[in-house]
Structure 1
Amino acid sequence: MTLTVGQAFDLVYGEDAPIHVVAWDGSTGGSPDGLVFRLTNPDALNHLLAAGGELGLARAYLLGDVVIEGIDEADPYDVLRLVGDGLTARRTKGRDAIELARFLAKHRPHAPRLPEEETPGQLRRLAYGVRHGRARDAAAISHHYDVSNAFYEKVLGPSMTYTCACFPTDEASLEEAQAYKYDLVARKLGLQPGMRLLDVGCGWGGMVRHAVKHYGVSALGVTLSREQAAWAQAAIEADGIADRAEVRHGDYRDVTERGFDAISSIGLTEHIGVANYPAYFRFLHERLRDEGRLLNHCITRPDNKHPGLPPRGFINRYVFPDGELTGSGDIVRVMEDEGFEVRHHENLREHYARTCAAWNANLAKHWDDCVELAGLGRARVWGLYLAGSRLAFERNEIQLHQVLASRTSGAGMSGFTLRPRFEPAG
């Protein structure tokens, strides 16, 4: 007799697993006191078998084939942590292994129905050109960032900053931490009145506006997102700094100006592809004057052993198409190989966990508005994405590194004092 869904679950995860599976066939598995996962139809099982892991579960959840009782759709952190900590597949052998094989043969997976939020993943098809070519990069950025400025205002808060904050104290708010992050970058870059700053991948212009208003520089920001550029330029006009600040809609590779005193790259490196690092840092090196500084801020892996292309999992299919990560050592190596002198390097991993938690809280606070602006499926994707990212940063599965470097002159002049201080005096 073939196993029921509940019996198969118990063979794989044990009867004491911290979740309670209730299947459409009337069977149950796991602990009766566990968090209830309802598999409402055979498609739920097919998703789990066809993709497995986070991707299969996410697909089933987004489609309603798996219903998780009591889940906070805006912040499913507790559920993700429970599943990650409590579900460990056991090794089956003997009669159990035979029965499980029969079960899998009966429920042989087939191509699943996909949530509509995943269909933009088709932008990787040939029609969009070579990976990390200009057209495909533009399509990937538009997919994620051109959702709705109003949606991002709800999730990100007044700063409209979609990168890791830096919390100066345990009590600091998200807005205080984002302002502190921009100030930290400005201090590392040694910004002074009259300097020229280039901010590549500038988002909604937060760094551009902060540097111009608080450090007296002139600044140019560039973003591939049309929505971001429009929002940022309007904010610049409202701030009355249009004579010294500009945000362009376009590819950073189209910037022709040179001789910048400083360049900030905050959250762009993740999008350009590991194989393109040499050309990227070479381009930035060419845009700086001698003794000019570059601050590169990006998400990294905790080691340098992974290949450049990540698994085709949830993040790649639903959030960042064509995104790639590697270790900070690879980034430093390429920067040095392209002529930069690395002067300072730090990891803000715990800060990004806190940032994601704050964004989840904003999503929860404005859940109804976010659903209206982006749709229930997209809002659910963001809940999963932010909570999962928080967990990954907490567990040191991913990190966030700032690497500060200079275009040191041929005579060896770096532009740094003997003991530069980046944190404000206090």
Structure 2
Amino acid sequence: MTTLETRVSIAEALTTVTPDGLPFRFTAYDGSATGPEDSQIHMHLASERGLSYVLTAPGDLGLVRAYVMGDLEITGVHPGNPYALMQMMLNQVHFRRPAPAEALRIVRGLGWSHLKPPPPPPQEHLPRWRRTFEGLRHSRTRDKAAIHHHYDVSNRFYEWILGPSMTYTCAVYPSLDATLEEAQYEKYDLVARKLDLRPGQRLLDVGCGWGGMVRHAAREYGVQALGVTLSASQAEWATDAIKREGLEDRAEVRFLDYRDVAERDFDAISSIGLTEHIGVRNYPAYFGFLLDRLKPGGRLLNHSITRPDNRYRPVGAFIDRYIFPDGELIGSGRIISEAQDAGFEVRHEENLREHYALTLAAWSDNLVHHWDDAVAEVGHPTAKIWGLYLAACRVGFERNTTQLHQILATKLDDNANAHFPLRPTWLS
């Protein structure tokens, strides 16, 4: 039992590790409090289990666990869009690591019993070291399991968040007042223009999701389009959408690993949101495979989330356990280098960072609008996870901790002809 002389309140412990203070009100079940009393946003640690989550998984993981399980309560923001809180947490709250003696005093004062980890929420994926039963990192079996964890939540749930386009990648906003659907159309059309798609050409879309690019290319450009995805739910939805739009003669989506595509001599390949899932070490094989599937003069458009630098580091625990298991990010420089080393000639690249912040804001608005339906479909904990994830990612793009790059490359023919115009045509 902790004695009165050594007891430390939860608010005191929090104040010790946040020397600049909190911009929101914090209270705890032990009666302690800190932060401005008049703050609209209020965070309440409601139970000893919540404290154990925080102490046994320092950083974002412990806070997320407590929040998902209901032990950390947040008021003043909608759970479907806690953007204001995420702005405060990521921009204004600065944690410092206490010295060993100070950390020991805090833990002793809070109680040693809180160092026993509670079971994690059922929505949490296994830590990296325990995923070996699914196969080696980025093996076909393990990649399929990772994709299943994130993308096979519920097609209906995704329809509510993503809107009619069912497009789960960064949109391109032609103007600030454009709707999400207009921006997603512009994204697909920009990709098509960069690839210089023309009727009768063959397009391969790897990691095609719900078939948005496949259907756009077939419908708007008369292209023979093949998409592949590791999500069975996505493939089923995309196939139905292709039938509804009467595109069966020009569009196809397969439940297939991109590495198992047997066809060759494609005029163009689009990869929109796949690179984040394949692993940096696998870039040589990835770009080599895509180069091999293109005909001479063919183009590749690689669209992916990136870091603002080229130093490799793992993604955070929250993203890895709850959102994208085994996901990896690196800077655009590394991606360009790997594409060049594989034999591509890189012709153009651009950063669409601000566009992804706008896209995430629109998805958050959709989640709030459909909140009751979303909770009924996937449960309150999963819906809260998504609200937190979308808002945090939005702040990340705004703060330039993440970026979004489109890289356009071509496969030269035997005479080093890129089959490329002297000046870009997609801007006209």
Q: TM-score, normalised by structure 1?
A: 0.94
Q: Which residue of 1 aligns with 2:402?
A: 398
Which structure 2 segments of 5+ residues have no match?
none
Q: Does 1:105 align with 2:76?
A: no
**Displacement of 1:302:** 0.6
Contact 2:205–2:213 (CA under 8 A) maintained in structure 1: yes
Tell me whether 1:411 sits opposite 2:393 in the alignment: no
1:268 equivalent among 267, 274, 298: 274
Root-mean-square deviation (Å): 1.8
1:23 has 2:28 as partner: yes
Q: Of the candidates 354, 362, 387, which is equivalent to residue 366 of structure 2?
A: 362
Q: CA deviation at 1:116?
A: 1.1
Instruction: Say yes or no: does 1:203 pair with 2:203.
Output: no
In percent, how many aligned pairs have the same letter?
Answer: 55
Moved more, 29-38 or 268-277: 29-38
Q: Distance in 2 between matches of 1:40 and 1:305?
A: 39
Q: 1:111-143: CA deviations, max 9, x gaps?
A: 232111104668952221111111111111111
Counterpart in the other structure of 2:379:
375
- Cα deviation, 1:325-368, whole Å, max 9, x if unaligned, reads 11111100010000000000000000000000000000000001
**Which 10-residue stretch deviates more, 221-230 or 98-107?**
98-107
Say yes or no: does 1:334 pair with 2:338.
yes
The number of aligned residues is: 419
Match of 1:353 in 2: 357
- In the other structure, the counterpart of 1:230 is 236
Which deviates more, 56-65 or 171-180? 56-65
Shift in alpha-carbon separation, 1:198–1:418, aligned structure 2, 3 A: same
The alignment status of 1:174 with 2:143, answered yes or no, reads no
Aligned position for 1:386 = 390
Picking from 303, 312, 333, the partner of 2:309 is 303
Q: Secondary structure at the match of 1:198?
A: strand
8 A contact 1:120–1:143 mirrored in 2: no
Partner of 1:42 in structure 2? 48
Question: What is the distance in 1 between the residues matched to 2:305 and 2:222?
Answer: 29
Task: Map residues 65-104 of structure 1 onto 2, 5 A cutoff.
Answer: 65-89=71-95, 101-104=104-107
Q: Secondary structure at the match of 2:297?
A: strand
The whole-number CA distance in structure 2 between the counterparts of 1:186 and 1:284 is 17
Cα distance in structure 2, aligned partners of 1:193 and 1:62: 49
Partner of 1:253: 259
Q: What is the TM-score of this pair, normalised by structure 2?
A: 0.94
Inter-CA distance 153–90: structure 2 relative to 1 (3 Å threshold): closer
Q: State the 1:12 CA deviation.
A: 2.9
| Higher deviation after alignment, 116-125 or 258-267 | 116-125
Bigger mean CA deviation after superposition, 234-243 or 25-34:
25-34
What is the distance in 1 between the residues matched to 2:257 and 2:130? 19
The match for 1:145 is 151
Q: 2:10 aligns with which of 5, 9, 12?
A: 5
Counterpart CA distance in 2 for 1:144 and 1:91 is 32
| Residues 57 and 184 of structure 1: CA distance in aligned 2, closer, same or farther (over 3 Å) | same
Any conservation in 2 of the 1:219–1:245 contact (CA below 8 Å)? Answer: yes
User: Residues 9 and 30 of structure 1 are in contact (CA less than 8 Å); yes or no, is this contact kept in structure 2?
Assistant: no
Structure 1 match to 2:298? 292
Q: Determine the C-alpha separation between the residues in 2 that align with 1:289 and 1:117.
A: 43
